[in-house]
Structure 1
Amino acid sequence: MEDKVVLLDFYPSMFGMRARVALAVKDIDCEHREEDLQNKSQLLLESNPVYKQIPVLIHNDKPVCGSFIIVEYIDEVWKDKSPTLLPRDPYQRAQARFLADYIDKKVTETGNWIWCAEGEEKEAGKKGFAELLKHMESELGDKPFFGGNGFGFLDVALITYSPWFQTYETCGNFSIQQDYPKLSSWVKRCLEIDNVSKSLADPDNVYNYYLTLKKKRGL
């Protein structure tokens, strides 16, 4: 029986993009359903009754929730399809998961301060975000990808924030390309992978979404 794969998604979401990238690089046919987060579908509410959030991957009518859980699920279920995203080595796999969790927590902590706060809070956000980028550039080192020579789990974890870099730079008045050249080169290498670039939101559209969100919140 042919797999039926549906992704409940929201275009600007870095978490939704994470699932899109994993599906695309594995070349898995998928039906994408865009959610209105102000008027969530009954399918989303039923598929993720705990958090009621995207992304949700529905595989043969069974929902899988949480962006990293979805990526690992995709890698495990379609393990015969290249590339293998998670490292085979248990220690390297644990390290990749740890850093992926660090990325999400750090950006959640600092990113909102950059684009919706002022004064000391904004500066604290910029400092924290800079710490993240500096640490990830150090982790990358001279490797082409975080996974080594090939695109892998940690690359999926971070590349889906790259469409938001323009918004962070504009709001925080800094330049990732200038300050973090290795990380910027890594972004370019990732975007040269056709299935990755096609799965990411356009940075201009993300910035326009930010402006709409800012207006709604009266910032």
Structure 2
Amino acid sequence: MAEENRVVLYGMWASPFAKRIELALKIKGIPFEYVEEDLQNKSPELLKFNPVYKKVPVLVHNGRPICESSVIFEYIEEVWTNSGPSLLPQDPYKRAQVRFWADFVQKQLFEGMFLLMKTEGEAQEKGIKEVKEKLRVLEEQGLKSLLGEESSPFVNGDELGYLDIVMLTVLGMYKTHEEFSGVKIVEEEKIPTVFSWLNRLIDHPIAKEVGPPKEKVLGFLHFIRQKLLHSQAAA
């Protein structure tokens, strides 16, 4: 790869934010090097390229770092305009709607799923109900309008785009989460549009390519849950 066009992504396999950038680069067909970070022992390069937050993802293009997944996403769209499909709709209104619902998925669903990991008993039951309600809102207020009557499989059309990628990195492993928790989260009979869309995302070849093994995810979920429950008990 020519040095003037060198792209390096610093990420961590379980980070949904880093995974979004990996997916975006692959969908756009942008050659890049991937550096796996150990967040318990961060590399000097990561600390140099992201001295403010000291976290992944970091995209380094021509030696210059770009940090924060949403900022990196915009950078990719603006720089590689002629590479692969656009990750956002061309229509300004639909583009705004995609950004709104991507923000909803990130703030409401991701944070809701995280809350389930650190709660037990009644608090967890309440959290499960809230996540299901937010999925219902996405179904009725967002996705039906975004997909409309079009025959395209994804919100972005025939290829994954911004909202598709965000949803994939939040709930793409929902079956593993359900197996881990013993709780049904994504119910086909209640949210059929979300259910079918989500499973199309999961079945995408690039999603399968970058997705981690189920056993590795289960181990990580167990580790994170024990760590969070211990922190809650010590608080």
Question: Above 0.5 in TM-score?
Answer: yes
Residue pair 1:72, 1:86 contacting (<8 A) in 2 also: no
Name the CA shift for 1:56/1:85 in 2 (closer, same or farther; >3 Å): same
Instruction: Tell me the CA shift for residue 120 of structure 1.
Output: 2.8
SS of 2:29 mapped into structure 1: coil
Q: Residues 122-161 of structure 1: matches in 2 within 5 Å?
A: 122-138=124-140, 139-141=142-144, 144-161=153-170
Aligned to 1:195: 206
User: Which AA in structure 2 matches 1:156?
Assistant: I
TM-score, normalization by structure 2: 0.83
Greater displacement, 164-173 / 3-12? 164-173
Aligned residue among 90, 96, 103 for 1:88: 90
The answer to whether the 8 Å contact 1:9/1:56 transfers is yes
The 8 Å contact of residues 190 and 197 in structure 1, kept in 2 or not, is answered as no
Greater gyration radius: 2
- Give the Cα separation in 1 of the matches to 2:71 and 2:63: 17
Secondary structure at the counterpart of residue 133 of structure 1: helix
Query: 1:122-167, CA deviations, whole angstroms, 9 ceiling, x for partnerless residues?
Result: 1232122112322223322255212244422111111112344134
Q: In structure 2, what is the equivalent of residue 41 of structure 1?
A: 43
Which consecutive unaligned segments of at least 5 residues does structure 1 have?
none
* Number of the residue aligned with 1:116: 118
State the percentage of identical aligned residues: 38
Residues 154-173 of structure 1 aligned to structure 2 (within 5 Å): 154-169=163-178, 170-171=180-181, 173=183
Measured after TM superposition, the shift of residue 5 of structure 1 is: 0.7
Q: In structure 2, what is the equivalent of residue 53 of structure 1?
A: 55
Partner of 2:103: 101
Is structure 2 residue 9 aligned with structure 1 residue 7?
yes
Instruction: Give the C-alpha shift of residue 177 in structure 1.
Output: 4.9
Displacement of 1:4: 0.5
Cα distance in 1 between the residues matched to 2:108 and 2:213? 23
User: Which residue of structure 2 lines up, in the alignment, with residue 210 of structure 1?
Assistant: 221
The 1:127/1:183 distance shift into structure 2, 3 A limit, reads same
User: Distance in 1 between the 2:159 and 2:172 partners?
Assistant: 21
20-29 or 63-72: bigger deviation = 63-72
Which consecutive residues of structure 2, in runs of 5 or more, have no partner in the other structure?
Answer: 231-235
SS at match of 2:210: coil
Distance 1:117 1:172, change over 3 A: farther
Alignment coverage as a number of residue pairs: 219
1:72 to 1:172, Cα distance in 2 relative to 1, 3 A: farther
* Match 2:33 to one of 19, 31, 34: 31
Normalised TM-score (structure 1): 0.88
Distance 1:135 1:109 in 2: 15
Of 16, 27, 31 in structure 1, the residue corresponding to residue 18 of structure 2 is: 16
Letter in 2 for 1:95: Q
Distance in 2, Cα, partners of 1:97 & 1:204: 33
Q: Secondary structure at the match of 2:21?
A: helix
Aligned counterpart for 1:176 among listed residues 177, 186, 189 = 186
Q: Could you say if the C-alpha distance between residues 217 and 117 of structure 1 is closer, same or farther in structure 2, counting changes exceeding 3 Å?
A: closer
Match of 1:6, SS state, is strand
Q: CA deviation at 1:92?
A: 1.7
